Amino acid sequence: MRIYQRERGRASTKISLGDISVAVLVAATIAVAAQIEVPFYPVPMTLQTLAVLSASLIVGFRRALGAMGIYLAAGALGMPVFAGGTGGIAILFGPTGGYLAGFVLAAAFCGLARDLGLTRANSGCIAVALIGAALVYPTGLLRLGAVVGWDKPVLEWGLYPFVAGDLVKAVIAVLFSRGATRLGHLWGAP
């Protein structure tokens, strides 16, 4: 799926029922992944990063951003889709809210890279997934520091414990996306 589709010589931004269905399915997958966690304070370690990276590498920019919009809107409206079965607008403004914003950046980057063909080679796909995982941290750490205070060990709480796990999740996301691409070709997908 391209970022846009050519229709009679001009760009089309139509969203199909298939796009919406995929975005809803991806949002649900991210919500389920958020419930699988290893308790850490103040930021829990979940499989959200794995779900965001995998899905974005598979479905591309538009569908990935659509999924993140659905996921964040559902959580903001109080549905228990965030880590630990939480929901509500307060989560978006709490210590973990920056990581949720970082997931949007990661989804946009990985989806766009996929649409531009930068993930065709294994090395490109790995690089994109690693950069995508890293994009979660800047907004996450900024928000964490703003909420808990910069006099606290922000890097020890919000970065160091997660780097090794996110490296592993990025590699697994590449394996998932490669497998999904192969299956898609078997089923006749472009």
Report the pLDDT value the prediction gives residue 9, as an integer from 0 to 100. 46
Residue 34 falls within a domain, yes or no? Answer: yes
C-beta separation of 14 from 58 below 8 A: no
Residue 57 falls within a domain, yes or no? Answer: yes
Report the CATH number that the domain containing residue 67 is assigned in CATH: 1.10.1760.20
CA–CA gap between residue 90 and residue 43 (Å, rounded) = 15
CA–CA gap between residue 112 and residue 1 (Å, rounded) = 10
* DSSP category for residue 190: -
Q: How many structural domains does the chain have?
A: 1
Report the pLDDT value the prediction gives residue 42, as an integer from 0 to 100. 63
Domain interval for residue 36 = 20-183
Residue 68 falls within a domain, yes or no? Answer: yes
Report the pLDDT value the prediction gives residue 65, as an integer from 0 to 100. 96
Q: 168: phi > 0 → left, psi -120 to 50 → alpha, else beta; which?
A: alpha
Give ∠ CA 177-16-72 in degrees, rounded to 5. Answer: 65
CA–CA gap between residue 34 and residue 145 (Å, rounded) = 22
Report the pLDDT value the prediction gives residue 186, as an integer from 0 to 100. 54
Residue 11 falls within a domain, yes or no? Answer: no
User: Mind listing the pLDDT tens digit of every residue in the chain (190 residues)?
Assistant: 444 444 444 455 788 888 899 999 999 999 999 999 877 666 678 999 999 999 999 999 999 999 999 999 999 999 999 998 999 999 999 999 999 999 999 999 999 999 999 999 999 999 999 999 999 999 999 999 999 999 899 999 999 989 988 999 999 999 999 988 777 655 555 5
Report the pLDDT value the prediction gives residue 16, as an integer from 0 to 100. 85
Report the pLDDT value the prediction gives residue 45, as an integer from 0 to 100. 82
Residue 137 falls within a domain, yes or no? Answer: yes
Residue 80 falls within a domain, yes or no? Answer: yes
Residue 129 falls within a domain, yes or no? Answer: yes
Q: Which helix (H) or strand (E) holds 12?
A: strand 10-12
In order, the DSSP letters of 40-74 are -SSS-EESHHHHHHHHHHHH-HHHHHHHHHHHHHH
Report the pLDDT value the prediction gives residue 5, as an integer from 0 to 100. 47
Residue 121 falls within a domain, yes or no? Answer: yes
166-180 per-residue burial string, b: 16 or more CB within 10 A, e: under 16? beebbbbbbebbeeb
Burial zone of 153 (CB within 10 Å; 0-12 exposed, 13-18 middle, 19+ buried): exposed
Sign of CA dihedral 45, 46, 49, 54: positive
